[in-house]
């Protein structure tokens, strides 16, 4: 410690300030207030397991068979090529940007997922918040709806990290594709009228006020916030209606597909249309170490129908310009087909897709090399990805949020927005 630092710490103590106070004062100099950006809503379609880029967005149809793989290709309406199982998506390619040079260094599922959900590599010293939680923290709720919803349920790395857990996602607790689908804890308690429910809330408020004078903590504040949100949801017919997927016409449900992909994608549209700011939905398992041909044929066709319908539906409703739709996964798959006719983990290069919310349509960003092994040009890092998404939402990537102990942490490690993909 040098003399200057020693004197500074001495001064802090004299003024009765803690290091946390100093961090907060320092962070206030660079507050970068958030304001709603081009993307007023986000739908993050996360494909857990690591979807093969070669069998989806970046087919290597000119490579040798052991790299090319077993599937053919389809020409898009922009003249590019996608996998043969993206026939419907190929007809909306003019509305999306495909990033073929996504890259990071995490080959384990948990670590790769953490990367893509938070914008940070995992750290044993700090739990980082997911993007949805940061957006919940910055913008709050609309129309009595949770700002951040997980369809069907939150995953391990979709939570609030060092932020209060009141900024975590609201999980449906049930699958929208189920015949008996209902959202957990959303209905009015049996035998309870709206008047009696309001009366019970008043009694609870009196009790909570007594307890809050005895003990104050983040957990208590968060629990109180959850109770308030739950009350708003239960007591608001308009808010509850956002989750009622059976209100959609039979034709619309069929257009998306009467399966897990279709109904989850449709639910995501209903939620952002009603006022939810950030929806994370998960679909499928894409960890295809064996028999990749049959696995992709089975899983990619429902995705193709649901995704193409979602993009078209949002566009026809005039919502696509305001809604950022992301298709992400934790990493790609190995360049060569393995001995089990599958592909293994490969984070060196993979593909994601973005549409709407201020992103160009009909654009391919970056390329991988001829065997799909590494980025050939315009490598797109997790920092690029997170900074660009936050910027589109109206959050400056330089913004700092407070972790435990009053320590300011930037929402993104580096301010590296990628202008090439923006309108």
> Hey, how many other C-beta atoms are within 10 angstroms of the C-beta on 75?
11
Side-chain-side CA neighbours of residue 263 (13 Å): 18
- Per DSSP, the three-state class of 81 is strand
pLDDT for 251:
98
pLDDT for 405:
83
Q: Are 82 and 76 in contact (CB under 8 A)?
A: yes
What beta strand segments (E) does 89-200 contain?
96-102, 148-151, 170-171
- Top CATH class, 16-179+250-421: alpha beta
pLDDT for 228:
60
Q: Are 387 and 396 in contact (CB under 8 A)?
A: no
pLDDT for 187:
56
pTM over 0.75: yes
For every one of its 423 residues, what pLDDT tens digit does the chain have, with 9 covering 90 and above?
Answer: 444 444 444 444 444 444 444 444 444 445 789 998 999 999 999 999 999 999 999 999 999 999 999 999 999 999 999 999 999 999 999 999 999 999 999 999 999 999 999 999 999 999 999 999 999 999 999 988 999 999 999 998 999 999 998 999 999 999 999 988 988 766 544 554 445 444 444 444 444 454 444 445 555 455 455 556 655 666 678 888 999 999 999 999 999 999 999 999 999 999 999 999 999 999 999 999 999 999 999 999 999 999 999 999 999 999 999 999 999 999 999 999 999 999 999 999 999 999 999 999 999 999 999 999 999 999 999 999 999 999 999 999 999 999 988 899 999 999 899 999 999
Domain locations in the chain? 16-179+250-421, 187-242
pLDDT for 207:
43
């Amino acid at each position: 410690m040098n003399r200057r630092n020693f004197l500074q710490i001495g001064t802090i103590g004299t003024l009765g300030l803690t290091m946390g106070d100093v961090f907060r004062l320092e962070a206030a100099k660079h507050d970068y207030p958030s304001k709603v950006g081009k993307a007023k809503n986000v739908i993050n379609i996360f494909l857990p397991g690591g979807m093969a880029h070669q069998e989806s967005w970046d087919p290597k149809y000119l490579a040798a068979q052991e790299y090319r793989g077993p599937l053919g290709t389809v020409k898009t309406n922009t003249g590019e090529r996608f996998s043969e199982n993206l026939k419907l998506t190929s007809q909306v390619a003019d509305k999306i940007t495909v990033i073929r040079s996504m890259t990071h260094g995490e080959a384990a599922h948990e670590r790769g997922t953490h990367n893509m959900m938070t914008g940070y590599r995992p750290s044993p010293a700090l739990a980082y918040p997911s993007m949805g939680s940061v957006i919940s923290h910055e913008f709050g709720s609309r129309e009595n709806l949770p700002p951040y919803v997980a369809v069907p349920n939150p995953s391990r790395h979709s939570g609030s990290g060092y932020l209060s857990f009141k900024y975590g996602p609201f999980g449906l607790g049930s699958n929208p594709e189920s015949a008996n689908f209902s959202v957990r804890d959303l209905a009015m308690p049996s035998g309870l009228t709206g008047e009696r429910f309001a009366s019970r809330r008043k009694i609870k408020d009196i009790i909570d006020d007594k307890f809050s004078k005895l003990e104050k903590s983040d957990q208590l504040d968060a629990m109180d916030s959850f109770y308030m949100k739950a009350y708003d949801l239960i007591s608001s017919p308009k808010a509850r209606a956002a989750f009622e997927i059976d209100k959609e016409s039979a034709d619309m449900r069929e257009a998306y597909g009467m399966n897990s992909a279709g109904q989850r994608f449709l639910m995501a549209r209903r939620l952002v249309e009603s006022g939810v700011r950030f929806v994370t939905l998960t679909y499928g398992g894409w960890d295809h170490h064996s028999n990749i041909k049959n696995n992709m044929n089975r899983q990619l066709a429902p995705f193709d129908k649901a995704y193409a319908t979602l993009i078209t539906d949002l566009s026809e409703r005039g919502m696509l310009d305001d809604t950022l739709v992301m298709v992400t996964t934790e990493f790609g798959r190995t360049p060569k087909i393995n001995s089990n006719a599958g592909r293994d983990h490969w984070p060196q290069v993979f593909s994601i897709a973005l549409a709407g919310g201020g992103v160009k349509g009909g654009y391919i960003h970056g390329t991988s090399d001829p065997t799909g092994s590494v980025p050939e040009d315009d490598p797109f890092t997790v920092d690029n990805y997170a900074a660009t998404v936050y910027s589109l939402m109206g959050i400056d990537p330089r913004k700092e949020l407070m972790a435990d102990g009053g320590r300011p942490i930037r929402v993104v490690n580096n301010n590296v927005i990628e202008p090439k993909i923006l309108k």
